[in-house]
Amino acid sequence: MSRPEIVIWGAAGHAMVIADAVCLESEYQIAGFLDDLHPDRRGAAFCGARILGGREQLPRLRDRGVKHIIVAVGDCRTRLRLAAVARQQGLTLARAVHPKAAVAADVTLGPGSVVMAGAVINSGSRIGENVIVNTSASVDHECVLADGVHVCPGVHLAGNVHVGRATQLAIGSSAINGIRIGAGTLIGAGAVVVEDVPDEVLAYGVPARVVKHRLKVA
């Protein structure tokens, strides 16, 4: 029986990694990729398929029976906006979990979320929609990641860490047990979070300190 088709919205490095996970899972076959930023790439070969165009292709894909989509965009706010557009066009957000990731049986993983190679998500954790748990990151027991969070490569979260909507934890950062990190926040590369961090800030350093207030999250 043929596998259902999926379209990947994005056609850069992050899309390559998601496409690899999708292919290895063997649940879907890739119908193609969407790229809003570079219309000149339409028809170009990419990751074993082709770039179909931009968002204007969504109705055509739906009409031909493509039901599933993953938004392969690293920016948290943009990913959430595009996921909303895809849903409005009648597509269903799919998940992708690399076969070499370790996800506990009781973890909840929201639609549109992806878990990359070497990542670990431990028991009792709740992962929202359109979340990225990137390469070799670890999310320990009973963590809660809200919609649109990006846990970058090599991030380590101890148990009971709560991360707010559209927050990004940059590469190599970490948080101790029980920490609360607000929505729309950016934790800088290599930061060590040892106390709660509010919404809409940039925090970095060892230990992490708030250094800048950011624009309000959508």
Fold of domain 5-94: Rossmann fold (3.40.50)
**In the numeric block, which tokens belong to residue 29?**
């076959």
Fold adopted by 97-213: UDP N-Acetylglucosamine Acyltransferase; domain 1 (2.160.10)
Average pLDDT over residues 130-145: 98
Tell me the Cα Rg of the chain: 17
Q: In this predicted model, what pLDDT tens digit does every residue of 15-26 receive, in sequence order?
A: 999 999 999 999
67 within 8 A of 111, measured Cβ to Cβ: no
Distance CA 180, CA 199 (A): 10
The stretch 109-125 carries a mean pLDDT of 98
CATH 2.160.10.10 residue ranges for the chain? 97-213
Residue 212: which pLDDT band, with cuts at 50, 70 and 90? confident
Residue 119's nearest CA partner among 86, 97, 143 is 97
Q: What is d(CA 195, CA 217) in angstroms, rounded to the nearest whole number?
A: 21
CA distance 189 to 203: 10
CATH 3.40.50.20 intervals, the chain: 5-94
Q: What are phi and psi of 16, to 5 degrees?
A: -60, -45
Confirm whether pTM is higher than 0.85: yes
79 CB burial (10 A radius; 0-12, 13-18, 19+) = buried
User: Which DSSP letter does residue 20 get?
Assistant: H
Q: Which amino acid is at 146?
A: A
